[in-house]
Amino acid sequence: MTTEQSIKPGQADGAGPGGRDVLSVTDERTGRQYELAIEDGAIRASELRQIKVSEDDFGLMSYDPAFLNTASCRSAITWIDGDKGELWHRGIPIEQLCEHSSYLEVAYLLIFGELPTKEQLDAWVFDITTHTFVHENIKKFVEGFRYDAHPMGMLLASVGALSTFYPDAKKIKDQHERYMATIRMIAKMPTLAAFAYRHNLGLPYVYPDNDLAYPGNFLSMMFKMTEIKYEPDPRLERALDVLWILHADHEQNCSTSAVRGVGSSGVDPYSAVAAGVAALYGPLHGGANEAVLRMLDRIERIDNIPGFLAGVKEGKERLMGFGHRVYKNYDPRARIIKKHVDAVFEVTGRNPKLDLAVELEKHALDDDYFVDRKLYPNVDFYSGLIYEALKLPPAMFTVMFAIPRTSGWMAQWQEMVDDSEQKIARPRQLYTGGGPRDYVPMDQR
C-alpha cells in the first residue's frame, strides 16, 4: 500500500510473515512489550494509552500536528489515491461523473450513497429548485455589509445566519429536519453567493428563476440586467456544472474537517457549514484559486517566470495552485478543468493568462525543486482562468468553490452524525508552558 491515499479497509491487514494483524512494540523505558491491534491498516491511538512508565502515568499519546498521519473517521464517501492521481465518489471515478452526470446528481450520490433513479432525481431537483429563495431579512442583512466586503466574508456570515431562520435544524437526529437543511443549504448557497456579488457592484439582487437549471439559475442571479428573462449559454452552464462536480467533495480536507469538528459539538448544520466556509476562505485551501490569479497578474509576462520561480525556490513565496497534501501526482481535477478551459473560451474569448499559466506549469514541471517534492498543478491552478473568463472578480473565485462543496460538507456531516464511534472532537496537546507559579499583584510587576 502506498502512503498518499485514503485508507481502504482491509487493504493493509494481515501482510506480515506471522499473518497476525498486530503491531508489537517494546517500550525501552520499561522493557515492557505490547501488542496493538491493526484494523483497516491503522492502530487505534487510544491503544497507546496502555503504554505507561508508572501507574499514575497518563499513558503514551501520538503527536501529529496537522493530522499528517491520523485518520479521524471512517468514511464511505470519497476515495483518493494521491500517488496515482485518482478520485472516486462513492466508488465512481470523477472522470465518469464529469462526463455523464450533473452537479445535482453527484450531490445526491454523495449524500445518499447511490445514483438516483429518474423519479428520485426529479424529486431531488424539484426540492432544491423550490428552496432557492432566501428570507427577505437575509437580503437586509447582506445590505449591511460595506460595499467592498469580501464575498467569502459575506457568505460565511449569511450561511451562519441561516441557522437563526431555521431553528429546527438543531434537531440533528431528526431525518426530516436533516433532509430540509440539506436541501436548503444546497439550494440557497448560489443565492447567497450571487447576492454577495451584486452587493459588491451596487446592483439590485436578482431573485432565483426556478425555470432554469441549477447552474443556469446561478448565472441569471449573477448577470441578469434589464432583460425579462435571462437565457444562459448552454456551453457555459455545462462548464459550470462540470466545475461544480469537480469541487463537490474531497474527503477529509481542512474545511471538511472543520465541518465535522464543529458539527461534532452537536450544533446545527448551518453553523457547522459556516465553519467550513471559514476554513475554505484561507489561501492555502479554497482561497488558492484567487491567489493564483493575483500571482499571474504579478508575473505578468512569460519572461518573468524564471525570476518568479527563483523566488519561490528561495522560499519567498509559494507557487499557488501547485502542491497538495494528498496528491503527489497530477490532480485529476486539474486535468479535467484544463480540457474545459477551451470550451469556455469558445464562448467568452480566450483569456490571455492561459498562455502564461501553461508556460508556468511547464517551467515548474521541468524544475527539480518541484519534481523532487512531487508538486503538480492542483484544482485551483486552472479554475480561476475559467472564472475570470466568466467575468468574475478574483474575490468571487473561492465562493465558486464553496457553492458545490456544500454537498460534500453535508454528506460528511451526516455521516459523522450517524457514526456511533464519533464523539465531540477534542484533541490532546503536549503542554509546553511553565507553572505552577503564584499570581503577582499589579503593583509588584
Distance CA 15, CA 416 (A): 30
Transcribe 227-270 into DSSP letters. Answer: -SS----HHHHHHHHHHHHHTS--SS-HHHHHHHHHHTTT--HH
318 near ligand CMC (CB under 6 A): yes
Nearer to ligand CMC, 216 or 332 (CB): 332
Find the shortest distance in angstroms from Cβ 257 to ligand CMC: 11
Q: How many residues bind ligand CMC (CB under 6 A)?
A: 20
Nearer to ligand CMC, 360 or 416 (CB): 360
Enumerate residues 56-115 that contact ligand CMC by CB under 6 A.
none
- Grid-cell match 446592483, residue found: 203
Enumerate residues 331-390 that contact ligand CMC by CB under 6 A.
373, 375, 378-380
Cβ atoms 265, 424 nearer than 8 A: yes
323 near ligand CMC (CB under 6 A): yes
List the beta bridge partners of residue 92: 89
Residue choice 88, 195, 223, 322 for contact with ligand CMC (CB under 6 A): 322
Closest residue by Cα to residue 189 from 160, 231, 147, 227: 160
325 near ligand CMC (CB under 6 A): yes
Count other C-beta atoms under 10 Å from residue 119's C-beta: 8
99 is written with which cell numbers? Answer: 462526463
- Name the helix (H) or strand (E) containing 27: strand 22-27
Nearer to ligand CMC, 181 or 396 (CB): 396
Choosing from 380, 418, 438, 443, the catalytic residue is 380
Residue 135: active-site member: no
Enumerate residues 204-263 that contact ligand CMC by CB under 6 A.
250, 253
Distance CA 343, CA 368 (A): 33
Distance CA 208, CA 187 (A): 10
Residue choice 286, 384, 404, 408 for contact with ligand CMC (CB under 6 A): 286
Residue 324: active-site member: yes
- Grid-cell match 445535482, residue found: 104
Residue 285: active-site member: yes
Find the shortest distance in angstroms from Cβ 399 to ligand CMC: 14
Choosing from 89, 250, 285, 340, the catalytic residue is 285
26 is written with which cell numbers? Answer: 517494546
In sequence order, the 6+-apart residues with CB closer than 8 A to the CB of 294 are 394
Binding site for ligand CMC (CB under 6 A): 250, 253, 284-286, 288, 312, 318-325, 373, 375, 378-380
Enumerate the active-site residues: 285, 324, 380
